[in-house]
Amino acid sequence: MSAPSTGERPTRWMIVLVIAVATIGGGLTRTCEVLRNPSPLYLWDDAVIHLEAQYLVSMVDALRTARDQRREERATGKDVFRVEDAVERFRREAAGVPPTFGRPLHDLAALVTMEALRGRAIAGSTWGPLGDPRLWAVPLTSAIAGALTIPLAFLVARRLWGPETGLRAAAILAMSGAHLLYSMEGFSEALLILLLYLALWVHLRGRAAVAARPDRPLAGSLGLGLVLGAGMLVHFRFSILAAVFLVADALRAGTASAPTEAAPGNAPAARTPVRLARLFWVGVGIAAMLALAELPYYLLLMAAKQRGIAVHPKTYLEQVLFVLAPEGLGYAGSLVRFRLGNLLTYPFALVYLCGGVVAVLAVLGLRHSRSASGSAEPRRPGVLLVAALFALPLAFYSLTIPLLRYGATSFALAPLFAGRAIEVIESRFAERGRLAVARWTGAALMAAALVEGGLLPLSRLVVPNGYAVALEHIVTRAPSTSAASPHLTTTPPISWALAGTGSTIPIPRNESAVSAGREAVALGARWLVVDSLVDFMDIDGQGFPAEARFLRGVEEACRSTSPVPNPFGASLVHDLELNYRPFLDTLALHRDAAARRADLIRLYPLRPCVGAPFVPPPSPVAPPGPRP
């Protein structure tokens, strides 16, 4: 039922071969790029996920130790194990930070990767943290998720438009600049994209199952709910995509064709009770996954209550309430500050990350996604959902906070539409009997999409950072070699990940905090680490203006020694990831990167400044916190 073909349909072996090459090649590209990076953590979120996974590793280690001690106790009869001692030891020795970001599934995936990397060698550096391969665990998790997405893209596109489009979409995704970028970083986006494709595949399978067995209209709904719930456990932002799926499920009857023109896989119109039942089961799946995330906390709290031990980590639902609810309020606040120019963010980003060819093809494919206009092709079930998943998040975030990574799931769907566009163009030529032209045009467009959409952007997307060098600089000049001197920094999580959670001192926020900061200096804090983030801490009085003023005060009073190159801080990706300003202002700021010294991490020795007359103006605002 696909568009007129330009030749023979791909055989099963050909499909397997192409998908295997795309998956393995794409996976290797992503993994190699991650491993080539000497300092794999360079923004706030990836460092926090690393720290949370570290904490879970400590917990696993503590449980292993407890298990061994219990075994020893049983074998020897000696009183080796006491719960209170084990808890105290864990509190003393645990690395990282307890999960606070409401992303338990990402933490869990990073934990599994960390455990797999334990004892392996990756980098040649001799400096402590860089000698530990587990520092690469979080971006490697993204790389693995990115590689696994490629065959899923094929499966989804095959169900939508057939195997040829599936192969094209998988190949374009494998080399897509946006997907490569988020498969090499430690953000949650690669996992989100994987689960989005998985949810799409489950949804489309469910539709086909209902079409095959109309007496089982609930087929696949629970599975879809479980996948959507899993996505929300990776990042609660997935709930927007889940809402699109739910609306699509609720409206499925409206999207279905009349029985006379029903296409394969197109379910008959559902009655309202059946739609409600489907929504119910999808909801059950989502709730089950959220409950699953809360369960360990419940067990921990109950066990601690029984033992009379006080435990403090926020439970998953508390994290959702206290971390993510404020984020939701932040979106509402951003709506008030909306500027028309923000609507340009994602079109610009699509071209910048995926290349102009893929961007144009994606728009063309979107236009002809349901059926080629003027053709007798039947309408494709499920295509409208993919289009909604592509467009709605972009529209939502353009109106609220158009950060680059928020568009990642939409960018990852662009290869599907690009593949579709190539198919439509080929079919147009084929319809006119110009098979050779069709074949060559398709091949040329594919080549352009792969080269211009992936290989070329890759060079400007992979930008090194200088955090490891900066931290190494501090540590190697510390009086004790055990850890970095306590320091003040604009990005504490990166310092915690590289130099330990006790390595930083919070930036003073008011007069008393300044006194505390000076006291900390007197106690041994030697450095202030300032990167390009300082330019994003005060945006029209929003964010962290007091901290920004404090940092600028220090910068004026002290003299930076040996600044460390940090090209990432001056990159457009960096600035777009912090696109809290109106988009055009962000672009202007980016053009000004060299003047801002954004490409440097400045290190200020604090001790010479202790007596210097800098008094930043007091302002009682919250400390800089992680932006989920």
Footprint on this chain of another protein (rule: CB under 8 A): 215-216, 218, 277, 291, 298, 301-302, 305-306, 315, 317-318
CB of 264 to another protein, least distance (A): 23
Angle at 377 between CA 375 and CA 380, to 5 degrees: 130
Determine whether 184 is exposed, middle or buried from the number of CB atoms within 10 Å of its CB (0-12, 13-18, 19+): buried
Note the residue count of the chain.
628
Closer CB to another protein, 66 or 226, in the complex: 226
Closer CB to another protein, 262 or 304, in the complex: 304
CB of 298 to another protein, least distance (A): 6
Closer CB to another protein, 302 or 594, in the complex: 302
Closer CB to another protein, 276 or 340, in the complex: 276
Task: Report the 10 Å Cβ neighbour count for 603.
Answer: 23
**β-strand partners of 604:** 528
Closer CB to another protein, 305 or 559, in the complex: 305
Task: Report the 10 Å Cβ neighbour count for 292.
Answer: 16
Joined together, the tokens standing for residue 250 give 């609720």
CB of 132 to another protein, least distance (A): 35
CB within 8 Å of 290: residues ≥ 6 apart = 229, 232, 233, 316, 317
Closer CB to another protein, 298 or 331, in the complex: 298
CB of 75 to another protein, least distance (A): 27
Whole-angstrom distance, CA of residue 314 vs CA of residue 292: 15
CB of 315 to another protein, least distance (A): 7
Q: Determine the straight-line distance between the first and last CA of the chain, rounded to whole angstroms.
A: 44
Closer CB to another protein, 35 or 284, in the complex: 284
Q: What is the DSSP string of 351-362?
A: HHHH-HHHHHHH
CB of 410 to another protein, least distance (A): 34
Whole-angstrom distance, CA of residue 236 vs CA of residue 290: 10
Helices 408-431, 163-174: inter-axial angle, 10-degree rounding = 140
User: Which candidate, 346, 349, 573, places its Cα nearest to that of 461?
Assistant: 573
Closer CB to another protein, 73 or 318, in the complex: 318
Under DSSP, the state recorded for 485 is P
CB of 251 to another protein, least distance (A): 22
CB of 92 to another protein, least distance (A): 22
Whole-angstrom distance, CA of residue 541 vs CA of residue 324: 22
